[in-house]
Amino acid sequence: MSPKETKKTPVTPIEPEEKAPSSEPSESNRLASKLGVGGGFEGEPIEKTDIENQEVILVDFKIAPSQYKEANFAMLQLEVDGALRTCNIGGQVIVEALEKIQGDKASNLPAEVIFFKAPTKDGKRSYWTMK
């Protein structure tokens, strides 16, 4: 065989091993457990863009530190069209508003809310808020 010729070896694909479900909680579940958040909310997840400008019922919420930035985010339990749904929101205006009522949720929830994007003062960007 000359140096320019190469011997081709057939490649056999390796089948991935099927893993049995682990009884160990995932890293995120362990962190959530330590923080006293996560789990507990019923319903399928929904994106905030799917409920933008719609009246929904805020049933409950939990505030937790974000793993992506130096801020908190809110895990929401919502009632949307009669069904329970969950949604995570990191918009600081929303999180700060929820933090104000966190100690007195019993008298403030459930509540009708509308999540929407509001323009900044300069009109060049927008941010999530609620009314």
pLDDT at 122: 92
Are the beta carbons of 37 and 75 closer than 8 angstroms? yes
Residues 6+ apart with CB under 8 A from 99: 63, 72
Closest C-alpha among 19, 50, 23, 33 to residue 116: 50
Q: How confident is the model at residue 41 (pLDDT cuts 50, 70, 90)?
A: confident
Residues 6+ apart with CB under 8 A from 43: 77, 78, 83, 84, 85, 86
Q: Which position has the higher pLDDT, 32 or 121?
A: 121
Are the beta carbons of 111 and 77 closer than 8 angstroms? no
At residue 5, does pLDDT exceed 70? no
pLDDT in tens, 78-124: 999 999 999 988 888 998 998 888 888 888 889 999 999 999 999 89
* Vertex 120: Cα angle to 117 and 123 (nearest 5): 105
pLDDT at 40: 67
Q: Which position has the higher pLDDT, 44 or 10?
A: 44
At residue 31, does pLDDT exceed 80? no
